[in-house]
Structure formats: C-alpha cells, structure tokens
Amino acid sequence: MSSVPRTRPHVHHLAPLRRALSSCGLVPSSMPSAGGLGRADDAAVRPASLVGDAVLSSFPCGPPVGCPEALGFLDGIQRHQIVAYDGPSPLVLGWVAAGVLLRTGRELKPTMAGTAQLAIGRETVLAKAADALHGFEVLPLEPPDDLHPAHDLDVARGMVDRRRAQLEEEIGQRFRATSSAWLLIDGSLSHSTAWSQDPRMLGIAKSHAILPFDGRALTTYLQLPEGCRTSLFRPATRGGRETFSWGLRLREWMGKDPFHGLVRIEAAPTEETRRRASEYSQWILAERSPLSAPDVRWDRQLYGMRAVERYLGAILGE
C-alpha cells in the first residue's frame, strides 16, 4: 500500500525551498541563462594566470559611464541548411555575414559589412552539384571516414563557424584600416594576432564554456556582484595569443544563475589595460541599456551587438 506524501510536489512553487536552501549556505539559483554555458562539447576548465594580484578578487567598477568617443560594434552571424543529399552525404549551404555599426552621438550607423555564401559537401556531392552552385564558395568536406550524415553536418557547421570568424576578422581589419575608433568585438580577441594586440579593441565573451578558474577562485568568479569586475588574468587559449581578461557582472544574478549577466572582457595585454580595466568596465556597464530584449541572451548581450546581428540578418534576407 503506497503512502500519500505530506507535501504535494509542485514544479513551480519553489520559493520556500529556495529560502530553505539559502539558510543552508547555498546560493538560490535557477536554470543557466541561454547560451551562457556554451556548447557542452567545449566545456572545460583551463586555469588562467593572474595579472598582478595573487588571489582572484572582485572590485567595484564605479557607475556606468558611456564611452566618450565613437564606438564601433563588430559581430557576425551564420546560417546553414541542408539542401540536398547524394546518398547519405548531405549538401550544406552556409551563409555568413559580419559587419560594424559605428556609434557617433547616440546613433548607430552601418559602417561596413561583408557576406559570403558557402556550399559544403563531400567532393562527389560538390562535383555533381557544380552547375547549380554558381556564386557559392565551394568548400569540400573532410569528414570522418564513416558516412553518418550527422557527422557530415557537424563538420559542415564547424566550417561555417570558422568562415564566419574569418569574415569577422577581415571586416575588423578593414575597419581598423579606416578608423581608429574603439571597437567592441563579440567574442574573444585571441583568434587574431592583430586583434589581441590592438589597444582600442575590447572583446566581449558571453559564453562560458571554458572557465578560467577552479576551486575557490571559480566561486569568486561566478559569484561576482553586479557592477564589479575581477582581477585581471591571462586566459589559457588554444591559439596562444596573449590577452588580458577579466570577468564583469552586468546584472544582478542572485536567484537566477551564476552566469546571468556575466561576461568576460578581453583586451590587449598592455599596461594601459591594467590601468584602465575599471574604466573600460564602466563603459561596458553603460551598454547594458537599452536592453537587448527580446534576444534570449539579453542579460549579457550588448544592444549594439544585437543591432549588428539584426542588421546582418536583414542583409541575409531574414
């Protein structure tokens, strides 16, 4: 005979339980913010080395202050779609776009943009489809030996991703060739040697698949209060291009999750960066508004970046 529980389970009424957990020393939270943890396949802890401080600490940055100069936002988007199969092998089309919106005054104006459309597939597929692929960059797929279409698609997706990063870099270089304005980049600077050394570029990483600390330092990193930044550190990057980085909490996260409103800033590894990290953080704090809703990543997404994505989306005909 089954016994009837005293309290009925209820998936939505968790507030009393959260309060109880808080008194046990835990931090009440909820599901991670969209995209905050990055792709599970990439998730790892790669300990970074601190710059200056012996222990990872948090510092209030001060009130938000808009960047006093013209400020550019560089971002890119990518789309892909299977359009045909040759036996088990898919033909994947990809579209990538990257661009810069430059803010002068309070107005964002498109400054430059580039697009590319890709056709990705195994050699045999591309050969058969050659006549139909005018205007496409044809990229042969080098997949694993097995012919599982899911693997092909995964590799194709990676190729689109890399082409987008490449296009972003090209656009960034073109922009820098014509303008010395500050440029905020969506993502890490360490992909590019030029970017990682540019004294007027800041990278904003919203995804936290790679965590720079473990143990106590990780707790400090993830429990960073709103409006505060961490000590500077050198992230351990695969590319090996050195940057200075720090965590910055854009929004109150208590009751949500540790990644809510948490971004990682990258800048050139210079003395000036060490000196002005809080000032740069104030600029970025100011970019919390306007809110980039309805973007699901609104807690970390800067409005300027979202504007670039919408602009590029319109160019791609979305």
Partner 1 sequence: MKQQAPIPPIGRVVATEQKPSTPHQFYFWTARSSPIGIGAIVRVDSDERVIHGVVTDGFAYSDLETPLDAVIGAEGDPAGLIDPTARSEIRLYLAAVLRHHPEEPLQPVPLGAVHLATDADVTVALRMDSFTDGEESTGIPVGVYAGGGLEAPVYLDADFLVGPEAAHLNITGVSGLATKTSAVEFLLTSIFQTFPTQKGSVAALCFNVKGPDLCFLDQAGSLEETDRNIYDRLGLVPEPFAAFQCYAPYKADGVNLNTLRTHPDLEGNTRPLVWGLRQVLDYAEVLLNRDDIDAKAGAFIDFLAERVVGQEFRDDSLRAKPFRVETFADLEEFFRAIFDWMEALNRGGEIWRTHHIATIRKVRNRLGNISTRSKGLVTDDGEVHDLPWGEFTDRAVYTVDVAGLDPLAQDLVFARVVSVLKEQLERRTLGVDHVIVFVDELNKYAPSDGPETYVRKMLLDLSERGRYLGLVLFSAQQFRSQVHRRVVGNAGTALFGRMDNDELTMGGYSTLSAAIKAKLATLPKGELMIRHPHFTQPIFVRFPRPAVLTGRDGVQRFPPSPDLPFPDAVARVLRGMDSTLSTEEIRDLVAGRRAEDVRRSLHATQRSRPDDPMAYFRACLGRAVVAESRDMRRGIPGVRSAPDPYA
Q: Residues in the site for partner 1, rule: CB under 8 A? A: 63-64, 66-67, 71, 103, 106-108, 286-291, 293-294, 298, 303-304, 306-307, 310
Residue number with CB closer to partner 1 (130 or 291)? 291
What Cα–Cα distance (Å) separates residue 300 from each residue in 30, 96, 292? 16, 23, 9
CB of 127 to partner 1, least distance (A): 39
Number of other CB atoms surrounding residue 33 within 10 Å: 23
Q: Which amino acid is at 177?
A: A
User: What is the C-alpha separation between 267 and 246, in angstroms, rounded?
Assistant: 9
Residue number with CB closer to partner 1 (215 or 290)? 290
* Residues ≥6 apart with Cβ < 8 Å to 132: none
What are the contacts of 176-182 at 24+ separation with CB within 8 A? 178/112, 179/70, 179/72, 179/102, 179/111, 181/69, 181/70, 181/71, 181/72, 181/102, 182/67, 182/69, 182/70, 182/71, 182/72
CB of 310 to partner 1, least distance (A): 7
CB of 228 to partner 1, least distance (A): 16
Residue number with CB closer to partner 1 (64 or 140)? 64
CB of 64 to partner 1, least distance (A): 6
Residue number with CB closer to partner 1 (48 or 61)? 61
- Six-digit token string for 246: 């720090």
Residue number with CB closer to partner 1 (184 or 217)? 184
Residue number with CB closer to partner 1 (80 or 256)? 256
Length, in residues, of the chain: 318
Tokens 């922009």 locate to 175
User: What is the C-alpha separation between 242 and 232, in angstroms, rounded?
Assistant: 13
CB of 274 to partner 1, least distance (A): 25
CB of 101 to partner 1, least distance (A): 9
